[in-house]
Amino acid sequence: MSLRIGIVGTGAFAQGFIPLFKAHPLVDQLTLCDTDDEKLAQNAAKHQIAQTSPSLDALCAMDIDAVCLFTQNWLHGPQAVQALDAGKHVYSAVPAGVSVDEIEKLVFATARSGKVYMIGETSYYYPGVIYCRQQHAKGAFGRIVYGEAEYYHDWDHGLYDVARWRGGENWRETAGIPPMYYPTHSTSQIISISGAFMTKVSCQGFVDEHEDRIYPDNNWQNPFSNQVALFSMSDGSSCRINEFRRVGHPGCVRMTLFGTDGSFEDNAHGAVWLTKDRNEKQALDTLLAATGQPIKSGGNMDKVTAADGTHLGTAQVHDTARLPSEFAGLPNGHAGSHQFLVDDFIKACHSGETPPNNAWDAARYVLPGLAAHESALQEGTLLPVLDLGDPPAR
Ligand SMILES: NC(=O)c1ccc[n+]([C@@H]2O[C@H](COP(=O)([O-])OP(=O)(O)OC[C@H]3O[C@@H](n4cnc5c(N)ncnc54)[C@H](O)[C@@H]3O)[C@@H](O)[C@H]2O)c1
């Protein structure tokens, strides 16, 4: 069975994904959807896609199998529920939602519909995270003791432009969203390695005093541009998550994880694997460099769309052999993750199996941040983190 896919939102981020959905061998029809008529027409021409839809409502009424959300980050929860209720599988750019109520509704709608829901969490396929999942599966960490994950993105690094194109005329209202409402690039790293999830949190907020007044003049009455949260984890470990939007730093998404037997450290100087052996330090920079990998022999070379047959942006730890040959030479972003996310989703829709980064995972990525912001508003009061459990067997 080939799949008919609708892409909702033809903005900046969708540009790297439209060619991947179009090229996947299990997809035979793509519909582009945007409420902005001009943008929709431009993208239909640019990506050579004949079928378009003027709204999510209209798309949900069409005879398609799946809806992929690339709309503004605060819109995803209700849009995903609408598409699931209309009987469509759903792929969503992060985050899954921006309130506990939205996340509960999303998980219930996924369970009720029996459809596939997948969050497009790019950190899941970051090379360092893949490496640590492999080390954890081998038992090399021992018991996890403590993790640190962080997403640093200063306003001066393009965020004003992003806020303007996402928020339009009244961009200030949405720009000052609490940093902990977008925690998933950080939380997912730890959770997807150890399988443990956050149970309690105490969070501190940095009250912003910048003259741009983005904080606190926003829809969320949020005064914080940076937040630091300390979590208890379900496996007895603890972890610290930093979400910084005002920081003198070039920016990063990264993680460090300590176990009783081994540790992974990543900072501006590079990534290393460490054990108790004081003389040994294994540098991982070459292994984890997302510089592109040649297509594996045995791939379907006659379908290769790239002149040089390279899976762009991937690292040695990426299992490129599982990707469709058609993806070679196509765009790939966020450390090689885009192609794997699209492939996971399409294969799950085709097989009916639960993908990684399913609705229950998505809830565990985002709910800790929502509780953390609440804690920060209460000056660090220790609060429970809601857990909606594991996905049901399919
Ligand atoms: N690493 C990552 O995972 C990563 C990186 C960048 C962006 N993102 C996510 O990608 C998403 C999109 O970001 P962007 O910068 O491309 O935004 P954008 O503003 O450029 O694009 C959003 C588009 O959605 C359209 N839209 C909104 N509501 C709609 C509706 N009901 N029906 C049809 N179209 C609708 C808008 O008209 C707009 O064209 C965000 O949620 C962001 O969080 C994720």
Pocket test for ligand 1, best of 15, 34, 42, 79 (most atoms within 8 A of CB): 34
Gap from CA of 64 to ligand 1 centroid (Å)? 21
Would you list the DSSP string of 196-216? --EEEEEEEEEE---TT-TTT
Gap from CA of 40 to ligand 1 centroid (Å)? 13
375, 202 in Cβ contact below 8 A? yes
359, 110 in Cβ contact below 8 A? yes
Task: Look at ligand 1, atom 7, and give the residue with the nearest C-alpha.
Answer: 13
Burial of residue 182, with CB atoms counted within 10 A of its CB: 0-12 exposed, 13-18 middle, 19 or more buried: buried
**Does ligand 1 have an atom closer than 6 angstroms to the CB of 71?**
yes
Q: Any idea which fold 127-288+359-384 has?
A: Dihydrodipicolinate Reductase; domain 2 (3.30.360)
Give pLDDT tens digits for 270-308.
999 999 999 889 999 999 999 888 776 544 444 444 455
pLDDT given at position 301: 45
**Burial letters for 210-238: b for 16+ Cβ neighbours within 10 Å, e otherwise?**
eeeebbeebebebbbbbbbbbbbbbeebb
**Does ligand 1 have an atom closer than 6 angstroms to the CB of 366?**
no
∠ CA 251-256-257, rounded to 5°: 160
Report helix angle 359-377 to 100-113, nearest 10. 170
Gap from CA of 107 to ligand 1 centroid (Å)? 21
Between CA 325 and CA 302 the distance in angstroms is 9
Please tell me what DSSP assigns to residue 358.
B
* Low-confidence spans in the chain with pLDDT less than 70: 296-308
**Closest atom, ligand 1, to C-alpha of 33:** 33
Between CA 56 and CA 69 the distance in angstroms is 9
Between CA 174 and CA 164 the distance in angstroms is 9
80 token code pair:
């995903």
52, 62 in Cβ contact below 8 A? no
Give pLDDT tens digits for 304-329.
444 557 889 999 999 999 999 899 88
**Does ligand 1 have an atom closer than 6 angstroms to the CB of 334?**
yes
**Total-model pTM:** 0.96
**Does ligand 1 have an atom closer than 6 angstroms to the CB of 32?**
no
